[in-house]
Chains A and B, each alone.
Chain A
């Protein structure tokens, strides 16, 4: 079963490769709308991104015995995403969007840990996103009289200003919900953490990117960055619109970062981290400059790789140990060393450390912010980046380092090879992305042309150019490796009888002798300091849940109020009908 769907997942990649950018299909659905698929550089980028992610996740699923319908739904989901990114009109886009919504809903429901409340959260937010999208679509249609992207894009300039704003707000809301912007992220964490472990990787790595794709589509293609600039005016070197968007993104990333640190469940942490990373993308996506777009695009790529890697890693560990909390894990480094190295590479990328790809993408975004002189935005991004080290460390410490918190962790075996293969591929990609950041410029330039922005100069595979400085990823990577090896050689030459592999209880513990029962794992002590910092405490103690909970309560109350009318007294119903008639009659006659 797995192999069949592996091949099935491979097919669209080959198909796309075969077409090589010239795909243009249109299929009349009714006399009024046509389904059309057009391959643009932007769409192709996202198409490969999602398809390859699905392929890798399918490889990882080899060791799980999944039912056929799971694979079918997953394939449907991948096709829906393909439809979204290759869509040439809004109807195709929306159909793909909704199929994505429900097929993922059914996939999430296959998890063992899911409950109705989380499912409801997921689907309601997805539908709210979809309905906001369709509202935008029909409003655009009412002016353009077509669902076609190019037609809407052409007629956008002639729409009234308030309609333009309404369209941008509606589309943005829809895609923000998918990407999990703060305030609209209420569904994200529960869903990511309770979905099937491997499917979480798809949710975080690919599905949230559909929101990003939508934002690119709307800002870049439908509205156009030039038009955004003309509509809203400029501030510093960027647009007003971009500035507002950037604050939304930065707030998202800061708040989510702090929330991530205080999580005890591994996947919840990853979910918040995902929100935070998408916050970066949203922060720069509206700049409307070459480097803004490039940064957002590069971070999309890198975040997809990292989150796939991390979620697959965590899924493997959860499958292997049956534990999913930091307070229940720990000390796995000597039991599952390969997994540890993979996670390590992942978090180095996530933290945006130089030799790996994570840095190149962050560098691009920072440069975009400097280019537009959005200094405070840049500070916000750097700040959230600094805070993110804490959760990166929590991730690796809580699972792999420290002490095992239970007996069976001491006998855990290395995770199955099918989990490791995609991880190794992704880690290699991450290393390559850091070593040869210049390769990305070649990918991004056609997209920049599509958005009619200036392109980035290309000077060699290793060099990442930007408006305000460049760096040589290849040099830094090789220098790092060389210095590392040299220092390692040096330190191993000093034979000061390193007493290797000590008993894990032989630690400086104030003269005490810790035993099996001593709580030595600091997995749940993380982030407690944060509550005492006033600013962070203010973030942590607030939650969007109270708002949505009260919304739910209000809805329920309204519902109860209305259902009180339907109390089944036929006599009163009759009187109401008669009164209604009389009222209407008097209104009508007068």
Chain B
């Protein structure tokens, strides 16, 4: 039963389905939510989905994480390290953007008392 899950194909399938589901939750969030915080959260969910997707698809059964310690015998037995590095960087960037967005949101809320993005329309002719 569990062997079924110990199959790279299956895991990839689950990851694809799961991350896409997550992605579309985020997608749904940004399409429907108007609260700035919720929108930012939706973005984060979408990003997370992408991260899972990317990392997950590079995982193969029997390979270890590309971290240099005693478990790592040969370079062939580890998963591709590049995606990991990329995702780490991306997470940092995502975090920075999120933090910036939240700080903007807080400042804006302090000034106006609003956080509905569809009502941010003072910039118009």
- Where the two chains meet, the residues of A that have a C-beta atom closer than 8 Å to any C-beta of B are 563, 566-572, 574-575, 578
**Cβ contact within 8 Å between B125 and A572:** no
Please determine whether B117 and A571 come into contact, CB atoms closer than 8 angstroms.
yes
What's the Cα separation between A421 and B121 when bound, in Å? 65
4 A-B pairs besides A568-B123, A569-B120, A578-B30 with CB distance below 8 A are A566-B124, A567-B121, A568-B120, A572-B118
**How distant is A53 from chain B, measured CB to nearest CB, in Å?**
46
Candidate in A566, A568, A575, A578 with the most chain B CB atoms within 10 angstroms: A568
Closest to B123 in A: A568
B31: CB under 8 A from chain A? yes
- Nearest Cβ distance between residue B123 and chain A, in whole angstroms? 5
Assess the B34–A571 pair: CB atoms within 8 A.
yes
Q: Chain A residues near B123: list those with CB within 8 A.
A: 568
A563, A567, A568, A574: the one contacting B31 at CB < 8 Å is: A574
A-B complex: 8 closest residue pairs judged by Cβ atoms: A571-B118, A568-B121, A568-B124, A571-B117, A570-B117, A569-B118, A568-B123, A571-B34
CA distance A228 to B87 in the complex (A): 71
The answer, yes or no, to whether B54 is at the interface (CB within 8 Å) is: no
| Chain B window 90-125, contacts with chain A (Cβ cutoff 8 Å), 1 for yes, 0 for no | 000000000000000000000000000110110111
Q: Is B59 among interface residues, defined by CB-CB distance under 8 A?
A: no
Q: Are B125 and A563 in contact (CB under 8 A)?
A: yes
CA A571 to CA B123, docked complex, whole Å: 14
User: Chain B: residues with CB nearer than 8 A to chain A?
Assistant: 27, 30-31, 34, 117-118, 120-121, 123-125
B27 nearest CB neighbor, chain A only? A578
Cβ of B118 and Cβ of A567 under 8 Å apart? no
Q: Chain B: which residue is nearest A563 at the CB level?
A: B125
Q: List 18 A-B contacts (CB under 8 A).
A: A563-B125, A566-B124, A568-B120, A568-B121, A568-B123, A568-B124, A569-B118, A569-B120, A569-B121, A570-B117, A570-B118, A571-B34, A571-B118, A572-B118, A574-B30, A574-B31, A575-B31, A578-B27
Docked complex Cα distance between A572 and B124 (Å): 15
Which residues does chain A contribute within 8 Å of B27, judged by CB atoms?
578
- Cα–Cα, bound, A428→B27 (Å): 85
Interchain CA distance A225-B53 in the complex, whole Å: 74
Q: How far is the CA of A571 from the CA of B121 in the complex (A)?
A: 11
Cβ-closest chain B residue relative to A575:
B31
List A contacts of B125 (CB < 8 A).
563
Give Cα distance in the complex from A535 to B28, angstroms: 70
Shortest CB–CB separation between residue A582 and chain B, in angstroms? 10
Report the bound CA distance from A575 to B118 in whole Å: 11
Report A66 CB to chain B, min CB distance, Å. 40
CA distance A574 to B34 in the complex (A): 11
Minimum Cβ distance to chain A for residue B45 (Å): 15
| CB <8 Å contact, A578 and B31 | yes
Distance, CA A71 to CA B30, complexed state (A): 62
**Chain A residues whose CB sits within 8 angstroms of the CB of B121 once the complex forms:** 567-569
| Cβ contacts under 8 Å, A574 to chain B | 30-31
Q: Kindly state the separation between the CA atoms of A572 and B34 in the bound complex, as whole angstroms.
A: 10
Measured in the bound complex, the distance between the Cα atoms of B34 and A570 in whole Å is 10
* Bound Cα distance from A568 to B123, whole angstroms: 7
Q: Which of A563, A570, A571, A572 has the most CB of B within 10 A?
A: A571
Q: How far, in whole Å, are A571 and B31 apart by their CA atoms in the complex?
A: 8
User: A448 vs B123: C-alpha distance in the bound complex, in angstroms?
Assistant: 64
Q: Please name the residue on chain B nearest to A572 by beta carbon.
A: B118
B31 to chain A, nearest CB (A): 6
Least Cβ distance of B41 to chain A in Å?
A: 14
Tell me which residues across on chain B come within 8 A of A571, comparing CB atoms: 34, 117-118
Taking the closest CB of chain A, its distance from the CB of B47, in whole angstroms, is 15
Assembled-state Cα–Cα distance A150/B120 (Å): 61
Minimum distance in angstroms from A382 CB to a CB of chain B: 56
Q: What is the bound-complex CA distance between A36 and B123, given in angstroms?
A: 51
Nearest Cβ in chain B — how far from A346, in angstroms?
Answer: 51
A565 to B125, CA, bound (A): 12
Instruction: Name the residue of chain A whose CB is nearest to the CB of B121.
Output: A568
Residue of A nearest to B124 (CB): A568
A347 to B99, CA, bound (A): 81
Tell me the minimal C-beta distance from A329 to chain B in angstroms: 47
| Alpha-carbon distance between A572 and B118 when the two chains are bound, in angstroms | 7
Q: Which residue of B lies closest to A571 (CB)?
A: B118
CA distance A14 to B30 in the complex (A): 75
Is the beta-carbon distance between B117 and A567 smaller than 8 angstroms?
no
* A566: B residues at CB distance < 8 A: 124
The chain B residue with its CB closest to the CB of A574 is B30
Whether the pair A567, B30 counts as a contact (CB closer than 8 A) is no
Contact B120 A570 (CB under 8 A): yes
A481 to chain B, nearest CB (A): 70
Known contacts A574-B30, A574-B31, A575-B31: does B120 contact A567 (CB below 8 Å)? no
C-alpha spacing A566/B125, complex, angstroms: 9
